[in-house]
Amino acid sequence: MIEEHRLRTLIHCEAPRRADRPEWAASREHHRGDARSPAPRQLDAGEVGHLLNMLLEAYDGRRPAAQVRALVAPEVYAGFIGPRRTRPRHRTQTVHTCTPAPEVVEACARVEADGRSFALAARFTRTPTGWRCVRFALLKPQQPAKPIRRAA
């Protein structure tokens, strides 16, 4: 008995594939940003929260950074790769969104890790292929400066 496997889209923002075209033609056209492909719909707060959790997992090292590469701008991706320190698990507690422009969604969230709260700020822009995170900043309090000891 042979089972047939089909891929289905993971994000609601992805353009549907047309049945009258070969799979390779539909995917090439979609990635080129063809005018016939529908624009990704607006993100709601739940979807933004899900995306932020995925990005925090990559930031913490619990998710391979390559899995979120298509969702983030190169500058954001650069912050997820490189040598990894052990980081505590960050969890979003509250997420707030606003739409300053039709093609932009900005989000802020309260994040907890090791019993402490931090602020998270992110900005998503709409591209022909979907939404992309162009800013991602986990704002942590600065360490207090060490006092300078003077020689007596």
Domains of the chain: 25-139 (3.10.450.50)
If pLDDT is split at 50, 70 and 90, which confidence band does 107 have? Answer: very high
Instruction: State what percent of residues in the chain have pLDDT above 90.
Output: 38
Residue 77 neighbours by CB under 8 Å, 6+ apart: 65, 68, 69
* pLDDT (0 to 100) of residue 83: 73
* pLDDT (0 to 100) of residue 134: 96
Given a contact cutoff of 8 angstroms between Cβ atoms, the answer to whether 135 and 76 are in contact is yes
**Is residue 25 helix, strand or coil?**
helix
Is the pLDDT higher at 119 or at 32?
A: 119
Separation of alpha carbons 96 and 110, rounded Å: 9
Separation of alpha carbons 18 and 38, rounded Å: 12
* pLDDT (0 to 100) of residue 111: 93
